[in-house]
């Protein structure tokens, strides 16, 4: 039976709140077996931009990354945020190494073509090379990936962290049994916008039925579409849960939403 690999993406308000981040890191450090942590940038980059007199630009939740903004997000994501997470993991006894997609040529991307919206130096992933990550995992190190990639021509790019987690998980299928876990400050995939009941499980069939019945709509749909695409490509389980539930994954006490093939 293949060895299990857990890929966790942490995002939302947890990145911006030091006590919450420390709590999450303690739980992540105790996840058994081989693991990779992928993190977003939070709102720290916005604060730095505003301090510099630059107004952050967003369209439908996606950042417009012009040249000045790129310089800032590289410093924040690949520098301050990434190394803060690494230091917190080291404090918990979890040997870790912080990386961007440009390091070891792990993630190659292309600059997103301008359409109705020009996202600037946003990157769309073209290839993930897992060989360097496998070497690190075999040496008992935990890679910590930030959402900065490159285009093979010396240009850094800002890439969506959810996508990095998903594409990395897909790249490892066939080598491991892969669990992809998205941790936020929400309990899972909600059945209503009032924060009520959570779907304990979704399959491609029940997901389609929920959309047709109007039970699911809005911003969660692109995330779920990407998640089910990962499952279709061989990822064993995709889990969407509150960051505090990470320590309960694999136990009878877990609360969250599990996406899987029937």
Q: How confident is the model at residue 51 (pLDDT cuts 50, 70, 90)?
A: very high
Instruction: Give the pLDDT score at 107.
Output: 97
Instruction: Give the pLDDT score at 195.
Output: 59
Q: How confident is the model at residue 252 (pLDDT cuts 50, 70, 90)?
A: low
pLDDT of 213 higher than 70: yes
Question: Mean pLDDT: which of 46-60, 148-162, 198-212, 215-229 is highest?
Answer: 148-162
Q: How confident is the model at residue 184 (pLDDT cuts 50, 70, 90)?
A: confident
CATH number belonging to the domain at 4-185, selected among 3.30.230.70, 3.40.1160.10, 3.30.470.20, 3.30.365.10: 3.40.1160.10
Instruction: Give the pLDDT score at 222.
Output: 78
Instruction: Give the pLDDT score at 194.
Output: 59
User: Do residues 60 and 116 make contact, with C-beta atoms less than 8 angstroms apart?
Assistant: no
Q: How confident is the model at residue 2 (pLDDT cuts 50, 70, 90)?
A: confident
Instruction: Give the pLDDT score at 191.
Output: 80
Average pLDDT over the chain reads: 91
């Amino acid at each position: 039976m293949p060895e299990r690999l857990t890929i966790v993406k942490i995002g939302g308000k947890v990145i911006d709140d030091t006590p919450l981040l420390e709590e999450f890191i303690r739980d992540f450090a105790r996840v058994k077996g081989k693991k990779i942590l992928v993190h977003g940038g939070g709102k720290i980059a916005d604060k730095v931009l505003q301090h510099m007199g630059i107004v952050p630009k967003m369209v439908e939740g996606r950042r417009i990354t012009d040249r000045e903004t790129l310089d800032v997000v590289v410093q924040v994501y690949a520098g301050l945020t990434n190394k803060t997470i690494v230091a917190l993991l080291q404090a918990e006894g979890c040997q870790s190494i912080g990386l961007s997609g440009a390091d070891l040529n792990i993630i190659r991307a292309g600059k997103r073509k301008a359409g109705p919206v020009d996202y600037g130096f946003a990157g769309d992933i073209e290839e993930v090379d897992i060989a360097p990550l496998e070497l690190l995992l075999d040496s008992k190190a935990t890679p910590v990936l930030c959402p900065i990639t490159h285009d093979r021509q010396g240009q850094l790019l800002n890439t969506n962290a959810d996508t990095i987690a998903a594409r990395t998980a897909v790249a490892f299928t066939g080598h491991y049994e892969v669990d992809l876990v998205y941790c936020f400050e929400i309990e899972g995939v909600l059945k209503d916008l009032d924060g009520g009941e959570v779907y304990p499980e979704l399959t491609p069939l029940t997901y389609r039925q929920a959309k047709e019945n109007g039970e699911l709509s809005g911003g969660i749909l692109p995330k779920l579409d990407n998640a089910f695409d990962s499952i279709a490509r061989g990822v064993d389980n995709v889990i969407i849960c509150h960051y505090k539930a990470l320590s309960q994954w694999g136990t009878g006490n877990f609360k969250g939403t599990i996406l899987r093939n029937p």
